[in-house]
Every structure is written in C-alpha cells, then in structure tokens.
Amino acid sequence: MKRTIAAILAVVALSAFADPGSLQGQDKRSQWLKEGGNKPIEIVSDRLDAYRERDLVEFSGHVVATQGDRTIQSDSLMLYFKKKAEGQGAAREPAAAAGDIERIVSKGNVRITEKDRVVTGDQAVFYSDEQKIVVTGNPVMREGSNVVTGERVVVLLDENRGVVEGSKGKRVTATIYPDESRGKKKKE
C-alpha cells in the first residue's frame, strides 16, 4: 500500500514541473521558471505578440518552452507580468524580468514533460505568488505506465503535494504498477 501511495505522490510531484527540493528557503517568485536559478528558458513559437499596456507577452503557434530537461508544448503560452506601481517612473521596460511574472497560461494541447514524466491537458496555469499549477481540460498525469486522471489537477509547489479533483461526471482514476516503481518486473 505504501508503494502505491508513493507512486501516486511521485506522479503528482512531476506535474509541478519544478524541483520541489530547490524551493525551500528561496524567494517564492517564479520558482517554476528557475532550475538551479540560472538555466536559460528557450521559447520557440510561430509568433510573439507583446502588449506593454496589458503587461502581457503571448507566444502562439506550436509553442515549445524548454528549460533543462523540462518542456512545455502548447498552442499558445501567455506570460502575464505584475503591474508596475505608477510612481516607478514613466520609462518602462518592454519585458519584465522573470521575477515579475504574475502567471503563465498555456492553452491548447498542453503537454508538460520531464524525462519519462508527462502531464497533459487543455490548459495549464502557473500562479507565481501562490506557487501553484492548475491543469484542466481532461488532465492526465503519467510516469512510465502509471496514470492518474481527474477533472482538475492542482499542484502546490511549496507544499510538495498535489490534489487531483473529480466531479459528478468524472471521478478520479489511478492505475499504478507497483513493481515498475522499483525498476523490477514481478516474476510469475
């Protein structure tokens, strides 16, 4: 039973798309964007639109965002920056630093991968201040052959835990292969 719970927690932790161990004692802003604090994030898309007045940068068309071993693929990815206080001067930078990100929204055919771990859904939203990722629209989490599905997946990065929620029409379902988590196949 403990192995099954450990396997489920491992799958939930993968959806955090971050190294939970690196979160302790660090600034909470945009931890999801940091991997060791200094690996670059590369975003490739068909188009980029920046809206200074809305504090928004939108990447669209076959978006692929990569940082180290982690990749997000989606139809679009929007970076919403925190609003600047009016007293901070008239001159504004065209794009804020990574620490100024309020939230990141990925829409359409969302696929988050890290090694053999994959989370898919129709939409994923990362909330910087809350250190929370919410995946909706038929979310599925996979690690190897293990699969967890539900109505909504919420990953709480600072707490190193996740919640898979069901609804009236869609209950939470988990298929776990305990022997796979040990790297051995059971002998029959």
The whole-number pLDDT of residue 46 equals: 98
Single-letter code of the amino acid located at 17: F
Tell me which of 83 and 17 has the higher pLDDT: 83
With cut-offs at 50, 70 and 90, classify the pLDDT of residue 23: very low
What does pTM read for this prediction?
Answer: 0.69
Q: Over 50: is that where the pLDDT of 8 sits?
A: no
Tell me which of 89 and 45 has the higher pLDDT: 45
Give residue-wise pLDDT tens across range 142-168: 888 999 999 998 888 788 777 899 998
The whole-number pLDDT of residue 7 equals: 37
Q: What percent of the chain has pLDDT over 70?
A: 66
β-sheet bridge partners, residue 42: 66
Q: Over 80: is that where the pLDDT of 88 sits?
A: no
Q: What percent of the chain has pLDDT over 90?
A: 37
With cut-offs at 50, 70 and 90, classify the pLDDT of residue 117: confident
Q: Over 80: is that where the pLDDT of 16 sits?
A: no
Domains of the chain by residue range: 2-82+89-181
Which of 49-63, 106-120, 156-170 is predicted most confidently?
49-63
CATH of domain 2-82+89-181: 2.60.450.10
Name which of 142, 153, 152, 136 is nearest 176 in CA terms: 142
Tell me which of 79 and 16 has the higher pLDDT: 79
With cut-offs at 50, 70 and 90, classify the pLDDT of residue 179: confident
Q: Which two tokens stand for residue 84?
A: 């600047």
Instruction: Please report, to the nearest 10 degrees, the dihedral formed by the alpha carbons of residues 46, 52, 53, 54 taken in order.
Output: 50
Question: Positive or negative, the Cα torsion across 101, 128, 172, 113?
Answer: positive
